[in-house]
Amino acid sequence: MADAVQVVELQTRDLKAKDGISNRDDSSSTNENQAIPKIKHYKWWLRVAVYIIFLLAGQATATLLGGLYYDKGGNSKWMATFVQSAGFPILIPVLLFILPSKNSPKVVTSAPPFVTLLLLYLFFGLLLTGDNLMYSYGLLYLPVSTYSLLCATQLAFNALFSYLYNSQKFTALIINSLFILTTSASLIAVNSDSDNSSKIPKGKYIIGFLCTLGASAGYSLYLSLLQLSFEKVIKSENFRVVLEMQIYPSFVASCGSLVGLFASGEWDGLKKEMNDYEKGPVSYIMTLLWIAIAWQICSVGILGLIFEVSSLFSNVISTLALPVVPVLAVIFFGDKMDGVKAISLLLAIWGSVSYVYQHYLDDLKLKAKARLLASASNGLDNV
């Protein structure tokens, strides 16, 4: 009997530790212990909801404005790469007014060495530079709707890297999600002739297609390594850490993009590009400015979801924006939405919902286990 009591007590203590409940004296009241997880649960969902809104709004806006930049006369790949990371200064005032959290759910034993953090920021910044450049080529050579649907493969790549680096477990629903999303992207690949791509040579279309796939794989690796860094290196989870991991790598990526802009010679043609822009110079500057701001908002949402849930969940939410962007691209840019692309879009929705449903099932199992342990704990208290 004593052994059984000890086992239940250990299981209950472990469950509370996972929910962020600190161990207390036996004299603590039951009401206090029950109130803590409810408060944390409410705040957690609120933070996740805010991050989701940031991600979806930022991604849809940035993608559409990026298509507008190329559609109305923009042609600089390095400028498009630069603005994807150059909006980080808008986050600096927020960072300065945020004090380090004293109530972090995880106890930080020691801060990472400065050299370690510096190398981490340099690595992620350079990785972002190359990845943003590939995205720029993809958006230049592909219609916005095709580009967006191809980005659905990012979820499949992220699942692979999450399995390798973040101990992600595969279930039937997750495998189903990956298969469907891969099929969705394949339909886009074999149906390239249906796009408004008559002005784009076949070779450039293929380059855009491959660059988009490569960028999806690279960004998925970036997200998985970010999650690994949060868990193994930084070992601290608060909004300040999220902002720092966005600001410093973005600074490195911006510097790398400027080097590419000057080295490629594209800098010399920017003035002519601005003057020849179909909507005018002011619209040219404002388009680039809002692209930069939108990507920073999106990135904060992505990093927030990584830090609150996982990199794979962040990618799932990002994939949910895919049905929105092609529809808006049809409205604003005149892209075609034929039968094959519509089927591909529906498959992308199906694949995303399949993964979200897996999270719902996992949540039900955790709640059932919590109720079982709570009942066992109450039974022991009555003995």
**Which candidate, 117, 107, 221, places its Cα nearest to that of 166?**
221
CB atoms within 10 A of CB 93: 9
| Predicted local distance difference test score (pLDDT) of residue 108 | 44
Domain ranges of the chain: 38-376
Q: What angle do CA 346, 177, 136 make, to 5 degrees?
A: 70
| Predicted local distance difference test score (pLDDT) of residue 198 | 53
Amino acid at 173: L
- Tokens 């109450």 — which residue? 378
Segments of the chain scoring below 50 in pLDDT: 1-40, 102-109
- Tokens 């995303």 — which residue? 352
**Which candidate, 303, 323, 329, places its Cα nearest to that of 65?**
329
Distance of CA 289 to the CA centre of its chain: 21
Q: Do residues 55 and 298 make contact, with C-beta atoms less than 8 angstroms apart?
A: yes
Distance in angstroms (rounded) separating the CA atoms of residues 341 and 195:
9
Listed in sequence order, the residues at least 6 apart from 233 whose beta carbon sits closer than 8 Å to its beta carbon are: 112, 116, 117, 120
- Tokens 């404005």 — which residue? 65
Amino acid at 120: L
**Which candidate, 196, 177, 197, 175, places its Cα nearest to that of 185?**
177
Q: Do residues 323 and 349 make contact, with C-beta atoms less than 8 angstroms apart?
A: yes
Instruction: Kindly tell me the burial class for residue 71, based on how many C-beta atoms sit within 10 Å of its own C-beta (0-12, 13-18, 19 or more).
Output: middle
Amino acid at 245: M
